[in-house]
Amino acid sequence: MIDIHSHILPGVDDGAKDFEQALDMLRLAVENGVHTQVLTPHIQPGRYDNTPGSLLTAFREFKGMLEAHEIQIELLLSAEVRIGPEVIEYLVSDNFPWLGEWEGKMVFLLEFPHNIIPTNSINLIKWLIKRGRLPMIVHPERNRAIQENPDSLIPYIEAGCLLQITSGSLSSAFGTEAMKLSIDLLQKGLVTSIASDCHNIVHRPPDLASGLERASELIGLEKAREMVTSIPQTLLSVHQNTINIMPAPITKSLNRRSYAYR
């Protein structure tokens, strides 16, 4: 399997605290059946002040430390980007750690705040999509606002956004409402991929297999397997080393204070 969302890179966000914990998480991922693990630390200005450059440095150091350990897993670098005008300068750069490509557009993992969808977020997303940058919205089933009003997700789906649900949501690890919404999205054929979004080895471990098993019960093994094998493989097909290189920045003029993009 391919896990496209994880917080295993140590010491950069709320995931693995140190190398040993990250090592244990990778071992669990391998035991779980994962052969390619994408490391996706948070980029969230003001809380996790990571940059593409700092993450690449941490990633290379981590891979160097792993050389002494025999772990049969391929590691790739991407990021989980919190929505906001502050991150646009990264999204238009030529060295952003993109997840991959989908139908000619460069894909990145986009996170909403846990309780809301910020006002006019759809304008920002349409602005990005128009310029060939495609968000994959992560764990929408865990967003309180979407739980209360699932239709609030429709404009984003209609705009072309991809959706990634968390493996644990399908087994109520994040509560009943998250489970209900994840199942509904899955059964309606709106989910692009399932990922672990693992953060540690106890409460949020690398457990993609349980999500695959539950999804198989809901939509059949073939469709469920595609979400952890062929679809992620297609997304990652343009992944070059550790960073997806963009053809060129889409604009030199950025408005970081407003979502009124056109």
Judge whether 245 lies within some domain: no
**Do 140 and 115 contact (CB within 8 A), yes or no?**
no
Per-residue confidence in pLDDT tens, the chain, 262 aa: 999 999 999 999 999 999 999 999 999 999 999 999 999 999 999 999 999 999 999 999 999 999 999 899 999 999 999 999 877 888 877 778 899 999 999 999 999 999 999 999 999 999 999 999 999 999 999 999 999 999 999 999 999 999 999 999 999 999 999 999 999 999 999 999 999 999 999 999 999 999 999 999 999 999 999 999 999 999 998 754 444 333 333 333 333 333 332 2
> Which residues fall within 8 angstroms of residue 155, CB to CB, at 6 or more apart?
122
Instruction: Record the tokens describing residue 67, joined without a space.
Output: 């050389």
Residue 185 lies in a domain: yes
Residue 250, in any domain of the structure:
no
For residue 1, which of 237, 211, 202 has the smallest C-alpha distance?
Answer: 211
Q: Which domain holds residue 37?
A: 2-238
Residue 248 within any structural domain of the chain: no
In a domain, 22, yes or no: yes
Give dist(CA 235, CA 255) in Å, integer.
Answer: 29
Number of domains comprising the chain: 1
Report yes or no on 175 lying in a domain: yes
Q: How many C-alpha atoms does 90 have within 13 Å on its Cβ side?
A: 29
Q: To which H or E segment does residue 76 belong? A: strand 74-77
Helices and strands, number each (H, E), in the chain = 10, 10
CATH for 65? 3.20.20.140
> Does residue 36 belong to any structural domain of this protein?
yes
Q: Is residue 95 a part of any domain in this protein? A: yes
pTM: 0.91
Asked if residue 66 lies in contact with residue 23, where contact means CB atoms within 8 angstroms, the answer is: yes
